[in-house]
Structure formats: C-alpha cells, structure tokens
Structure 1
Amino acid sequence: MTRVYTTIEEAGAELERSVVTIGNFDGMHRGHQAIFAQVKEQAAQLGATPVAMTFDPHPVAFFRPEAAPAKLSVAPQKYALMGSYGVEAVVALRFDKALASMSPQAFIEEVLVEGLGAVEVVVGEDFRFGHQREGTTELLREQGERFGLKVVVPKLVEVEGEVVSSTRVRALVASGELEAVRRLLGRPHRLAGEVVHGEARGRALGFPTANLEVAEGMALPPDGVYATRLAVGGAGGGWQAITNIGTRPTFGGGARTVETFVLEEGVEEELDLYGEEVMLSLYRHVRPEMKFESPAALVAQIQDDVAQVRAYFEEGGDA
C-alpha cells in the first residue's frame, strides 16, 4: 500500500534514498503515468524508493482562489492511482505561505536532498518551483550537480497529435467529450462523493436513484444524461448505470444534482447506499437535459435513454 506523508520531516524519517517526481498530478493522465513509469524504473535501478510529491491546495487556488481549476481527482483517489502506477510513497505537502516563499535553492537542498534523500528528480519540461516560480529545470540541474542529484526531463506525451495536459482534460470534460477524456486518462473521468437523501422523485417515476453529493470543486460535464458505472468506495468499475446531471427543469428547476439509476437487476440489497462514499465513472454523453411537458413524457424519454445505455454496455462501449 502506498505510504502518504504530509510533512518533509515525517517522510524524511523513513525515506533514505529516493527518486522523486514533483507536481499537482491532477487527473493522473497518460503524461503523468509516463513520468511515474520512469520514476519506478529509475528507482529500481538505483535501489531507491519511487516518490511523488504533490501539493494541497493547488498553488493557483492558494494565490488566486477565484481562479482555482476544477479538480479531476480528489486526494485519496489520486494517491490510490499513484500507487497503481508504481509510486511507493506520496509526500502531500500543504501549500502555504512558508512553502510558497521558499527559495529554489532552499527547496533543492532542504526538501529534496536533506529531507527526502533524493538521488534523482523526474519532472516535466514546464516545471517551475520556489519563490515566485523562479526555479526552472535548468536551475534544478545546475544546483543539483552540487549534491549529486540527477535531473531527468521526459518528453511530453501526445495523444492524437496534441500534448496531454490536465488543462486539456478539463476542457474536454466541460464540453462533455467523455470518450476523448478516456483516451487521455486511459480510464473514464470519475466523480467521487457521498450518497445523500434526495426528493425521491426518481422512485416515484419508477426509476429510484442514488443522489451523489459530489466532492467540492470536482470537474463536471454539461447538464445531461450519461452512461456511467457506480462503485462503492474508491475503485473503478461497478454497476452499469445511467446518470442525470442537472437542475430537473421538468419539476421547476433547482440546485444542480447528480442522480444515478443502476441498470443491473438483483442488487437491491446492495443499493442501500445512504452515507456511502462512491465513485461514479462517466463513459458517454447520451443527451442534454431537457424540460418535458409532463412527468409521463419524461418517463417515456427515460425509458428510451435506458435502452440506449443498455445497448451501449452490451456492445462493449465501456471496454
């Protein structure tokens, strides 16, 4: 199981020799996965621990809260994925004034070398660090030589001719292009949250739903109906499902909700999910949310939506 440390002191007490990668790693896309693979390989060759250092909150959220990017993953989900890609230890530092004001030189010496025992650092070519982002990969190389610290900058990963980035993934989620998102992530975009009590309208219509209170700040696609899977806990996979994201305009609108109807039969006893932490995997946009002239018209449309989603899964669309 991946170890998670929240301070340099805590990590340094157990890590003697490490290969470290540093970043926010939101979304854990194919570019991040390539870096983790290299960290794992180099650590094995050097007899070191593969380590990922990340930050909470996102530095942009610290300096400009109003401009904080939507989250593609929550912390526990991120750490679990890191472990699945070969990272043995995560150093999740709180991004605060003290860390933001640390000089690049101090960061290299006190955090990487003395704190984590780093012998190699693997970072993206656009990596910046230290006070006012003064640190660059070139500076990291220059200063690292003093301590025998090797710096590796892998090539950027491209999918369909474009560089993979968290910014690009967020844009695709925001436009509902979930199949393109899957190609960049290597898996579906997932929403983490807790199942809460709703207004029971779905049950009254014959489609009882699990109402998901999504973790704050998560990236959501446009309002509409989606082919999804619902799983208890942080794992992927789960039950085939259909999900509506929106304000329920047929019933006068209101707060934005995420409501999921499980398609598989014979799991009723397992669906008492109130208070459970669940993971919702988003596979395909079915249609936008619409206002219907009556509940009966809505039910007819839901029946058609369910048939579409069943066909999608039967044809292996989620493979």
Structure 2
Amino acid sequence: MWITSCLETVKKPTVVALGNFDGVHPGHQAVIEPIWLSAQQFQTIHAAESHAGEGVVVPTVVTFHPHPREFFTGKRRDLLTPLEEKAAQLKQLGVEQLVRLPFDHALSCLSPKAFVDQILVRSLAAQEISVGENFCFGHKRAGTAEDLRAIAARYDIPVHIVPMYTLDGERVSSSTIRDYLQQGLVRPAARLLGRPYTLIGEVVKGQQLGRSLGFPTANLRLPEAKFLPRLGVYAVRVCLHNPAAPDAVPHSPGTTAEPTLLGVMNLGYRPTVDGSQRRVEVHLLDWAGDLYGKTLIVSLEAFIRPEQKFDSLDALKAQIQQDCDQARSLLTTSP
C-alpha cells in the first residue's frame, strides 16, 4: 500500500474512488469495487499486448485529511479507522494506493471544475472514477456526483455513481455506526460495519491495580484519533498481533494474529480508585503471560454494563467476577 499526501509522489495513471471512507464499511466497499474491477480489466488488456506492463493503472482511494468537517469546525473528529487501520482494510480490498489530500483553504476554494482538472486529471491522471451518489465536492460543496460525471466526461473519464447502500432497509453510514457505538450498541454497529468494531493498541504498563485484585489487565495505548464507544464494560474477543504475518498492519481477527482469546474490557476513568485518565483495560479469561509491548486486536462483542463507582475494592472485585462470568456466557453462546 503506497500512502501519500503529496500529489507529486502519486503513482499514476490511476482509477480512483473518492470519499472519506471512515470505517471502510460495506457502503464504502461498494464504491471501491468498480475501481478494483477496472484495474483488473486494464491489467488483462495490457497483459495480452506486446507492451505488457506499460500503462497499467493503480487502484487508488482518494480521501481528505483532515476531515472537511474538522477543518471547518476546528474540532477534532475521531475516526472509526485511523490511518493504519484504514490502510489495512483498503489493502484487503485490492487498493494499492491511498492519497490523503491535505484539506486546506486552497483545496476548499477550488470550484468543481478546477478540482476535476487540477486534482483528478493533472495530478492523478485518473482513467475512471467511482463515488457514492451523495458525494459532494468543490467550493461550498457545490458539485454533486452528477456534476462530477458531466465535468469528467469532457476529459473522456467515465464516472461510476454507486447508489446508497442499505441493509434491511437501514442506510449504512459511518454516522449511524458512531451513534450505535456511543450508545454501547456494538452488535447493531457490527451489523452495519460488516465486522465487529475493534480497538487496536500496544500494551503499556499501568498501575497494576487489576493484578492486585486477582484480575490482571492489559492497558492499551490506542491511536490518538481513535473513536471510542460508550464508557463501560464489554465482552470482547482478543487476538495478539503477529508482526511476522504477511500484512504489516493488524486490522481484524484471524488474519494477522494468534488464535482468538476471550476477555472483558473496561473503558473509562475507574472512579472507584479516583482515576483521572480514560483508560482501556483488557482482562483475558483463562490466559496468563507477559503482554507488555505486544499489540492486541480487541473486538467488541457485547456491552455488559456502564462504568460505575463502588464503595470498596471488595465490591469492585465481586463485580469484576460477575462481569467475567457474564462475558464468558455471552462469548461461548454467541457465534
């Protein structure tokens, strides 16, 4: 996966999927599929010609950094899939290049026509383009998907406009997935995402309070921009990332990791011990070992309870045991 924010280093010619693609959910995948198919067709055509290998297009996702909403509001927008996660998900879909256009004042002021001419034609040498039907671009979001098709046609560049993706009548969108996660509704979120929502981070040293209670936990350091769900306790499945696996970046259980383990995760401030920092702590059921420095892939399977303050450490310990028992029951009876 070639990742660049500099148009001078883009590999081209390209076939391009345009959008933000936070989450890389099935709706995003539907937008990406046409450019992957186009790349395969170009490859087949050129492989059959005498100049095989010349002019083969690069399947490319073009997104924006920071998110346009973050640029205009000045407020940080946490991401379902920070850069490394997004890149790994895109790689699995056959995308070979991720171009992160710096979203600044100059880019925001480009007219729809100038955006096509300067970015898609000159800088990316786009041969085909794919967008969702609700895609907007250019100054003040003046350009629609149909406008993009009309402008690109002047350069003989076909544009695929992919209909809104729905599942059982519900629109699949990053915003809806976020809303579910904020409520602790991890299963509806996973249904729209197409996979469980994951937190991926390195195990770092904590205060070792869990160990003193008989429930040692792994404290995870997550990417700063990672979107976090509702505070509370979750039943989780956990994989240890294997850096020697073919994919350099962890992205989902069962691909770059050891066998799945069962666990309980606490996300919160630990009010019983007057915690002041939000922490992500994972206790693995029926497992012991040194995890410091390792990367864990934690899949959220069920929300157990909100975070709460207990009157004593004994009460906290008893509740943790109940959480473990409930998590074991949930994880061994669900697929």
Does the pair score TM above 0.5? yes
Give the C-alpha shift of residue 121 in structure 1.
0.8
- 2:172 equivalent to 1:182: no
Gaps of 5+ in 1: none
Q: Percent identity?
A: 40
Deviates more, 1:82-91 or 1:209-218: 209-218
Give the C-alpha shift of residue 253 in structure 1.
4.3
Mapped to 1, the partners of 2:78 and 2:9 lie a distance apart of: 29
- 2:308 equivalent to 1:308: no
- 2:274 equivalent to 1:235: no
| Other-structure match for 2:3 | 4
| Other-structure match for 1:63 | 72
Contact 1:52–1:90 (Cα < 8 Å) also in 2: yes
Contact 1:19–1:42 (Cα < 8 Å) also in 2: yes
Give the C-alpha shift of residue 97 in structure 1.
2.1
Classify the secondary structure of the residue corresponding to 1:218. coil
Give the C-alpha shift of residue 127 in structure 1.
0.8
1:29-81, Cα deviation, whole Å (9 max, x unpaired): 11011122222123322443321101111111111123x44311110110110
Contact 2:268–2:279 (Cα < 8 Å) also in 1: yes
- 2:314 equivalent to 1:296: yes
The 1:235/1:263 distance shift into structure 2, 3 A limit, reads farther
Q: Where does 1:1-319 land on structure 2 (aligned, <5 Å)? A: 2-11=1-10, 14-16=11-13, 18-47=14-43, 48-66=57-75, 68-233=76-241, 234-237=250-253, 238-265=260-287, 267-269=288-290, 271=291, 273-274=292-293, 276-315=294-333, 317=334, 319=335
Contact 1:226–1:286 (Cα < 8 Å) also in 2: yes
Gaps of 5+ in 2: 44-56, 242-249, 254-259
- Letter of the aligned partner of 2:232 in structure 1? G
Q: Which runs of 4+ in 1 moved over 4 A?
A: none
1:3-24, Cα deviation, whole Å (9 max, x unpaired): 222222211xx312x2211111
Mapped to 1, the partners of 2:107 and 2:308 lie a distance apart of: 47
Mapped to 1, the partners of 2:87 and 2:305 lie a distance apart of: 33
1:144-177, Cα deviation, whole Å (9 max, x unpaired): 1111011111111111211111111110110010
RMSD of the TM alignment (CA)? 1.8
Give the C-alpha shift of residue 277 in structure 1.
4.4
Contact 2:182–2:230 (Cα < 8 Å) also in 1: yes
1:225-271, Cα deviation, whole Å (9 max, x unpaired): 10113344523224322101122122234322211111242x504x2
Mapped to 1, the partners of 2:200 and 2:101 lie a distance apart of: 22
- Letter of the aligned partner of 1:59 in structure 2? P
- Letter of the aligned partner of 1:20 in structure 2? V
In the alignment of these two chains, the number of paired residues is 308
Classify the secondary structure of the residue corresponding to 1:255. coil
Mapped to 2, the partners of 1:264 and 1:89 lie a distance apart of: 41
Contact 2:27–2:164 (Cα < 8 Å) also in 1: yes
Mapped to 2, the partners of 1:245 and 1:114 lie a distance apart of: 47
Contact 1:194–1:277 (Cα < 8 Å) also in 2: yes
Classify the secondary structure of the residue corresponding to 2:132. coil
Contact 2:89–2:251 (Cα < 8 Å) also in 1: no
- Letter of the aligned partner of 2:74 in structure 1? P
